[in-house]
Amino acid sequence: MVGFIDLVKVLFRNYYRSIDLSEVSDLQGREFGFQFFDKEGMVRHMGFKNEEELKHFLISNTPSHIYYSTAIYKDPTNQDMDAKGWLGADLVFDIDGDHLPTQSCQGVELMTLECLSDAAEEVNKLLDSLIEDFGFSDSSIKIFFSGHRGFHVHIESSEVRGLSDEERREIVDYLLLRGFDIEHLIRGNVVLIDMKLRGIGGRLASVIHETDSGLLDSITSRSGRGRVSKYLVRKLSSFNSVISERLSTHIDEVVTMDVHRLIRMPNSLHGKTGLRVVKLTPSDLERGVEYVIDKAIQFRKGSLTLRLIKKLPVRRVLGEDVVGDEGSIIKVPTYIGIYLVMTNWGELVD
């Protein structure tokens, strides 16, 4: 394993020689944290004056994982959190495939394209809410593949940086549809449920239409013409659980509420997979997760020979067919070899 780690460190170091740090906004005001291949725990409360200083550190020390604060501070290197001088924090969302309740993600041991696709669908739901319901512009939202099983979504505008943890909790509650009741969208003879509407009202209408199109027709035909009957309101209320299941967005709520959070730095390498934390566009997501993985792969040259420690639970690894039982000797592209060894599915054969 020592020889393998040395190889990975060389590959990581070479990558960091030309890393693009342009996505790290307000670099001087952010706290950085690092994990290393040959040390336990995290080294944090570090700061850098500019890109050149950060890049020099990465080349000289070659971390396995790189994190930065979602917050901006006056003194990011101060180890006393209260003395850092909090100036605000980005609004950040974390969607992790292995936390999703879908069939493809339940009990997943190795990242699969199917589970990652489910995570990408959650990102699309989140984007719909942020744009249609909260009014954020496309250009204010940054999407990143996390380098492993999910995605991060960042909003860095001044209008969100001053939000308190309680205000962020309200956003989380809305996205999770916590305490949602469909009756809130009915006020006398006004019904805010219609497929022509943008936002939650339009999404609700689509779900109801799939299940009971006649009910939706009855509701929309009454809007503006007279009070909706109690019978129709009760029938609509029976959809509350279905609505919550279909339309809630499965985000890690702690990440969004924590105004001192460290999160993976854009364009850094994930030390467990060797994949890049790559920026994506909505159209990238539409092209599918194999395209996303392809954008994140760095180490395409060469191959590695591995002995499988245990039988692989999936046939495709990072979009490529990999077949083998416990003890099998296999030859795979370098990027797949790094992923299998670092996730303890294989060991390098000398």
Contact status, residue 100 vs residue 249, Cβ threshold 8 Å: no
The residue type of 43 is: V
The one-letter code for the residue type at 139 is: S
Note if 128 is an active site residue: no
d(CA 63, CA 43): 10
- Rounded Cα gap, residues 293 and 318, in angstroms: 7
Amino acid letter for position 164: S
96 classed as catalytic: yes
Task: Give the separation between CA 194 and CA 203, rounded to whole angstroms.
Answer: 8
- CA geometry: angle 76, 78, 82, nearest 5 deg: 95
Q: Is 294 a catalytic residue?
A: no
Q: How far apart are CA 319 and CA 112, in angstroms?
A: 8
Distance (Å, whole) CA 332 – CA 327: 15
- Residues, the chain, total? 350
The residue with tokens 């592209």 is: 333
Question: Which residues, including other chains, have CB under 8 Å from residue 224's CB and lie 6 or more apart?
Answer: 189, 190
User: Is the CA virtual torsion 113, 119, 123, 125 positive or negative?
Assistant: positive
Task: Give the C-alpha separation, 249 to 180, whole Å.
Answer: 13
* Residues 318, 293 contacting (CB under 8 angstroms): yes
Residue among 26, 133, 212, 252 flagged as catalytic: 252
Residues involved in catalysis: 94, 96, 252
